[in-house]
Amino acid sequence: MSGIVPDPIARQPWRMLFPLFVLIGFGALVLFSAAGGSWEPYASSHVIRFLVFLPMAFVISMFSRELAQFFAFPVYIVIIVMLMAVEAIGFVGGGSQRWLDLGFMQLQPSELMKPGLVLVLARFYANLPIGLIPTWRSVVPAAALIGAPVALVLLQPDLGTSLALAFGGAVVMFVAGLPLRWFLAAGAAAAVLAPIAFFFGLQPYQQRRVFTFLDPESDPLGDGYHITQSKIAIGSGGLSGKGFNEGSQSHLNYLPEPQTDFIFSTMAEEWGFIGGLVVIAAFAMILGWGLKTARESQDRFGKLLATGMTATIFFYVAINLMMVMGLAPVVGIPLPFMSHGGSSMMTNMICIGSLMMVARWNRRAPRTGLIS
Amino acid sequence: MGLRNRNKRRDIVSQTTLDNAFDRRTFTIGTAMGGLGVLLAARMGYIAIAENEKYELESESNRVNLSLIPPRRGWLLDRNGAPLASNRADFRVDIIPDRTPDPDRTVAVLTDILELDENQSADVLKRIEDSPGFQPVEVASGLKYDQFAAVSVRLPDLPGVVPQRGFSRFYPTGPSVGHLIGYVGPANAEEYEEQDRNPLLITPGYKIGKDALEQQFELDLRGIPGARRVEVTASGRIVRDLETREDVQGDPVRLTIDGPLQDYAARRIGLESGSCVVMDCETGDVLCMSSMPSFDPNSFSQGIGRVEYAMLRDDERVPLRNKVLKGLYPPGSTVKPMHCMAFLDAGVKPEETIVCGGGRRIGNRFFNCWSNHGSVDMAKAIYQSCDSYFYHFAQQVGFDHVAKWAHKMGLGEEFPLPVTSQFYGTVPDPAWKKKKFDQDWQPYDTVNSSIGQGYYLTSPLQLAVMSARLATGNRVMPRLRLTDEKPKFEHFDFSPEEIGYVRQAMSDTVNGPGTAGRARLPFDDILMAGKTGTAQVVSLSISNGKTGPWKYRDHGLFVFFAPFDKPKYAGAVVIEHGGGSGSAYPIARDVMTFMFDPAKGMEALRPLEEQWGGTAQERLNQKYRAYAAAAGEAVPPVPERDEDIFDQVEAEARVAARQPEAIAEEANPSRVDTRSAQEVSEDTNSARPTSPGSTPQATPADDPE
């Protein structure tokens, strides 16, 4: 709001937008290299998608609180219907399917569900009478809201996305103020049920991935290949990397999926530890801004919405980085803002848009308002 | 209690507590996020900096592929430096089954490009099926450059196909050296494991010695592989060459074998199944050890076809067995001169006579001789091969003593030769019989053994060694690898007179009133000494041994040395089921003729080969075609031989080399060849018109019966 910079620009959340542009630009460079030193096919479409979704995020940020609240349930229901449609098409087609072909892009409804679920939960808790928070009436509807899409996505089967949904939902419930004991109890129950679920609920290939994660060297050419090659890429980068466009692991195809799931490895090979720190720092700034937005929000809906959106982005980042460094099993989750891929870009830009929306509400709210 | 709790909790929850909880919990979440961020940064630092060295190495080993260049195999040379086994440049196409998703289709495409016939592509598919998968399977070798290039440009459509430019093993005289030299082939899984998984062994196109000398001298012949460092993609596609180190060819191994003689002897055996060994009496050098019929090691080394292998396997004349080392035959009368040496050692005087009345009574039984010889002394016993004499004196000195000398003369012994296996046979004696059959030695055992029958079993190599030791009185040891030093042999305790006596008697066998008059050499000044032998295969009640089914005919044997008074060469010929010694000594005669006068030797061989239908190689090829035709398989025509350099070890080459001095100097100045194939072919062509052109003196008196 100073004199030199026009107000509409100055009031944008540059604390978040600047690292975001850094990530997108850096991602484009890495994608350029991953394509063997070419803008096609990854880097150019990456930038174009960003240029499409950034205005979309700004449009989202214009929504009023009332509008967002109003649309929460209809949006949720529409996405649930789309998930069921995917299920039906997959069933008819005789194989698993995760996307709807919209002609101009392939839409993964499960991706849309991540912000959608956060939105609907925020809406649910914002309007729940405070007195009901410690009762079953705060849990059962929320559990149903989370359970339905998680179950549908698990059927696809897509473990990574269903975990992301559950994580986003759980974070919203957590910050909604539900008694801590419930979370501890649920955590204990999960600890007991996890092994059972592992042996009876997971597909053999998923079980193998977990085993491989625990001991990647046991089968370096088979299931451990991804993790081993990713660690080689990161490790061989050293402090400052092999140099732009010089990564042998990605250029000679040793690294699987160098443009999507393992883009961080591709980056780390060429830019080294320093590049890695830049990426982690950029994410820290974005996520920090997201949390700050949540904390500064004056109303419950905004708080929950912003926290949930931040958690959703965080889940992507954390799982992806842990995976490429050999700290988590291979679960096919891309790195936000860097990986090549439309659905992931869309989800994360919706999250960013929602956060910007809450940030805008914060600016407008009376600074000393005690009541939302 | 429960009610109170509920009330209490409800009191606590309010807008403020919720806001406080929110603040606390988002702070917790923020801390967790930050913590994880720090953890990830630390983890990355650990991988990228602490373990950087390790991962950099792994990245390099990913990127750089060291592919071995198979070393050229060392040559096997004959005693004059001419190659018995060499290499020739070769374009080849391999296929790696593991990397070929659809072998049927790929082989079909290759069949088309390389113009293979159905038989060959069936062989390739079978080999792909049998192979361990990681190991390349040869599709075709000896390709033309055009075919090679045609495959190379289609590589993107042919996953797992590897075109190679390499060297293939070549044996110029083919079947003549098959048993002696062995062959080469790709290492099998066991050999790969045995040799510590040496990566060279699974390098496409690399072949190791599989039998005989090729196997024995493997480490000498192997050489040092070259290496090519290339940058490769994960799928193995080569991006660029980094550096190349040339291979070092394996050392040549020089043998005592005389290439042309080996070839001649093998060819002279002709249609018979048998073997011929010739040794140098002074050094123990094995000059030839031919075993026929044989296989063509070139076929084996190129990966023998299924039909050709079946032909060899099913042949009753066992072309896959080296009869020199692993053929065991009763020596028959060939041991008689050696037995005489044992008698002399026991104090029997040569002049002592016995009377052969068509046989002799030993103990309480009468044993037949093959004829009625009247009064017989030692010399007559040898040249007339009188059995009675041996019945008598073997009984007199005791067979223990005779057996001791048989061992000293090399029978029942193994020799320190670089061969994969040799059978040592049997020299019977009382202790042996007791151990083997738990029976006491009987007089009839002495009688049978005294004339080389009964339990006696010897290999042709042993007979040749016996002959050399007999001729010189020295404990001559055979050797196959040529060295400059002249070996010293222990001398047996015989007087020159005693040795001379036996030599004379054996010379009389051939040149006097003996059993092998037709074995006389066609020279006035060189006399060959020898001893015939006939070994019964089945009892006389089944066959007379001379005619009838091949399997029932007697083995024909002949041991010899020449010149008889100053023995230089000694040897043995054994013809399986030849119907008697008459099948063996003409071969010995011609081989020794060739030794002293190659042109005369060839004159004897040429009409025979015309009659038999070509050289051993040609007959083998014809036989294969006939066999394949009978099996309903098509066989490609035998490729033309265009590399005259290799003719040096063929029997004909010796003729060319022994032309009058002037021409010979020009034709073949040095046995160690330094010239190009072109020059050699010009030289030999100019030097040879005398041999095939001139009309040979046909019909030697003794065509094989």
What is the distance between the alpha carbons of residues A223 and A209, in angstroms, rounded to a whole number? 7
Q: Do B44 and A234 touch (CB under 8 A)?
A: yes
Answer yes or no: is B129 within a domain.
yes
Of A25-34, B37-46, B457-466, B692-701, which range is least confident? B692-701
Q: Do A171 and B51 touch (CB under 8 A)?
A: no
Answer yes or no: is B471 within a domain.
no
B21 touches chain A (CB under 8 A): yes
Sign of CA dihedral B436, B440, B445, B447: positive
B248 and B103 in a common domain: yes
Alpha helices in B154-276 (DSSP H): 178-181, 189-194, 212-216, 218-222, 259-269
Q: Which amino acid is located at B464 in the chain?
A: A
Domain count, chain B: 2
B337 and B221 in a common domain: no
- In a mutagenesis test of the B interface, which of A135, A167, A175 is the best target, namely the one with the most B β-carbons within 10 Å? A175
CB neighbour class for B295 (10 Å; exposed up to 12, middle 13-18, buried from 19): buried
Per-residue pLDDT reduced to its tens digit, B151-209 = 888 887 788 887 777 778 888 888 888 888 888 888 888 888 887 777 788 776 788 88
Q: Do A303 and B22 touch (CB under 8 A)?
A: yes
Q: Do A295 and B62 touch (CB under 8 A)?
A: no
Answer yes or no: is B382 within a domain.
yes
- In a mutagenesis test of the A interface, which of B9, B46, B59, B232 is the best target, namely the one with the most A β-carbons within 10 Å? B59
Per-residue pLDDT at B678: 46
Write the CATH number for B97. 3.90.1310.10
Per-residue pLDDT at B551: 83
B248 and B104 in a common domain: yes
B241 and B121 in a common domain: yes
How much of chain B exceeds pLDDT 90, in percent?
21
Q: Which residues numbered 350-409 in B keep a CB inside 8 Å of some CB on A?
A: none
B359 and B245 in a common domain: no
Measured distance between the N- and C-terminal CA atoms of chain B, rounded to whole angstroms? 123
Is the confidence at residue B587, as pLDDT, over 70? yes
Token pair belonging to A18: 């600047």
Give kind and range of the element (H or E) at residue B140: strand B137-140
- From B254, B275, B293, give the residue that closes a domain: B254
B214 and B73 in a common domain: yes
Give kind and range of the element (H or E) at residue B367: strand B365-368
Count of beta carbons in the 10 Å neighbourhood of residue A196: 9
Per-residue pLDDT reduced to its tens digit, B538-553 = 777 777 777 778 888 8
Ramachandran category for residue B452: left, alpha or beta (phi over 0 → left; psi -120 to 50 → alpha): left
Q: Residue A268's closest chain B neighbor by CA?
A: B48
Is the confidence at residue B697, as pLDDT, over 90? no
Residue B71: pLDDT band with limits 50, 70, 90: confident
Q: What is the mean pLDDT of residues B208-228?
A: 86
B220 and B79 in a common domain: yes
Q: Of A20-24, A93-97, B257-261, B533-537, which one has max mean pLDDT?
A: A20-24
Q: What is the mean pLDDT of residues B506-526?
A: 86
What is the distance between the alpha carbons of residues B294 and B332, in angstroms, rounded to a whole number? 25
Place of tokens 């190689």: B617
B61 touches chain A (CB under 8 A): no
What is the distance between the alpha carbons of residues B260 and B288, in angstroms, rounded to a whole number? 9
| CB-based contact B245:B230 (threshold 8 Å) | no
Answer yes or no: is B571 within a domain.
no
Ramachandran category for residue B464: left, alpha or beta (phi over 0 → left; psi -120 to 50 → alpha): alpha
Count of beta carbons in the 10 Å neighbourhood of residue B119: 19
Three-state DSSP class for residue B142:
coil
> In sequence order, what are the beta bridge partners of B248?
B224
Residues of chain A with C-beta less than 8 angstroms from the C-beta of B25:
174-175, 177
Q: Do B13 and A307 touch (CB under 8 A)?
A: no
Alpha helices in chain A (DSSP H): 7-10, 14-34, 43-61, 65-93, 109-127, 136-154, 159-175, 180-201, 204-214, 225-237, 248-251, 263-296, 300-324, 342-364
Write the CATH number for B335. 3.40.710.10
Residue B684: pLDDT band with limits 50, 70, 90: very low
Residue B702 φ/ψ, nearest 5 degrees: -130, 85
Q: Do A134 and B9 touch (CB under 8 A)?
A: yes
Answer yes or no: is B176 within a domain.
yes
Residues 6+ apart with CB under 8 A from B646: B83, B86, B170, B172, B173
Per-residue pLDDT at B313: 81
Answer yes or no: is B487 within a domain.
no
Residues of chain A with C-beta less than 8 angstroms from the C-beta of B33:
284, 287, 291, 314, 318
Q: What is the mean pLDDT of residues B473-499?
A: 88
Per-residue pLDDT at A3: 60
B431 and B345 in a common domain: yes
Is the confidence at residue B705, as pLDDT, over 80? no
B104 and B240 in a common domain: yes
Return the higher-pLDDT residue of B9 and A91: A91
CA A58 to chain centre: 19
What is the distance between the alpha carbons of residues B414 and B417, in angstroms, rounded to a whole number? 8
- From B206, B226, B254, give the residue that closes a domain: B254
> In sequence order, what are the beta bridge partners of A278?
none
Give kind and range of the element (H or E) at residue B19: helix B15-45
Residue B639 φ/ψ, nearest 5 degrees: -65, 150
Q: Do B29 and A174 touch (CB under 8 A)?
A: yes
- From B220, B254, B288, give the residue that closes a domain: B254
B237 and B354 in a common domain: no
Q: How far is B110 from chain A (nearest CA, A)?
A: 29
What is the distance between the alpha carbons of residues B51 and A4, in angstroms, rounded to a whole number? 49
For chain A, 372 residues long, the average pLDDT of each consecutive 10-residue run is 69 89 94 88 91 93 91 93 84 63 74 92 90 84 92 82 90 89 88 83 74 64 76 91 87 84 92 94 95 90 93 93 87 88 90 94 65 42
Answer yes or no: is B656 within a domain.
no
Per-residue pLDDT reduced to its tens digit, B75-125 = 888 888 888 888 887 787 888 777 778 888 888 888 888 888 888 888 888
Per-residue pLDDT at A363: 86
- In a mutagenesis test of the A interface, which of B28, B31, B47 is the best target, namely the one with the most A β-carbons within 10 Å? B47
Answer yes or no: is B188 within a domain.
yes
| Structural domain range at position B240 | 65-254
Is the confidence at residue B216, as pLDDT, over 80? yes
Name the DSSP class of B672.
S
Token pair belonging to B650: 């063929």
Residues of chain A with C-beta less than 8 angstroms from the C-beta of B54:
235
Is the confidence at residue B287, as pLDDT, over 60? yes
pLDDT mean across residues, chain B: 81
Is the confidence at residue B639, as pLDDT, over 50? no
B64 touches chain A (CB under 8 A): no
